[in-house]
């Protein structure tokens, strides 16, 4: 017998296509009562922003009425928005954040 019966196996790689997780925006809203400095404190503490980034986001909300703070997964967006609202509430400020799906 000739020894040429080399096995030729075809390996099929299974690569399941997972749906990309939908992304959500966290939106900051302006109000007439929360001090500017405190808005920056919240943005730095909850969203790990630098002073400069926090200032820019705060001023954008202040001038235009709202500003997107971050885009992330639904879970993280909802958790961060709640943390930020709670921190402001503790200090007696009506600072508001909401989440909404990105188009």
From 41, 56, 62, 79, residue interacting with ligand TYC (rule: CB under 6 A): 62
How far apart, in whole angstroms, are the C-alpha atoms of residue 59 and residue 63?
Answer: 6
Q: Among 27, 43, 46, 61, indicate the residue that binds ligand TYC (CB under 6 A).
A: 61
Residues whose CB is less than 8 angstroms from the CB of residue 97 and which lie 6 or more positions away in sequence, other chains included:
26, 27, 28, 29, 69, 80, 81, 84, 85
**Does 69 engage in binding with ligand TYC (CB under 6 A)?**
no
Nearer to ligand TYC, 62 or 79 (CB): 62
Binding-residue pattern over the window 13 to 42 for ligand TYC, x denoting contact by CB under 6 A: ---------------xxxxx-xxx--x---
Residues 81-100, interacting with ligand TYC (CB under 6 A): 95
Of 40 and 72, the one with the shorter C-beta distance to ligand TYC is 40
Positions touching ligand TYC (CB under 6 A) are 28-32, 34-36, 39, 58, 61-62, 95
């Amino acid at each position: 017998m000739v020894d040429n019966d080399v096995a030729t196996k075809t390996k099929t790689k299974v690569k399941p296509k997972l749906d990309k997780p939908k992304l959500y925006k966290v939106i900051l809203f302006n109000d007439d009562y929360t001090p500017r400095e405190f808005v920056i404190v919240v943005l730095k503490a909850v969203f790990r922003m630098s002073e400069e980034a926090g200032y820019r986001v705060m001023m954008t909300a202040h001038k235009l009425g709202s500003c997107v703070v971050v885009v992330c997964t639904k879970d993280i967006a909802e958790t961060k928005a709640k943390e930020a609202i709670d921190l402001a509430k503790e200090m007696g400020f009506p600072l508001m954040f909401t989440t909404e799906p990105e188009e």
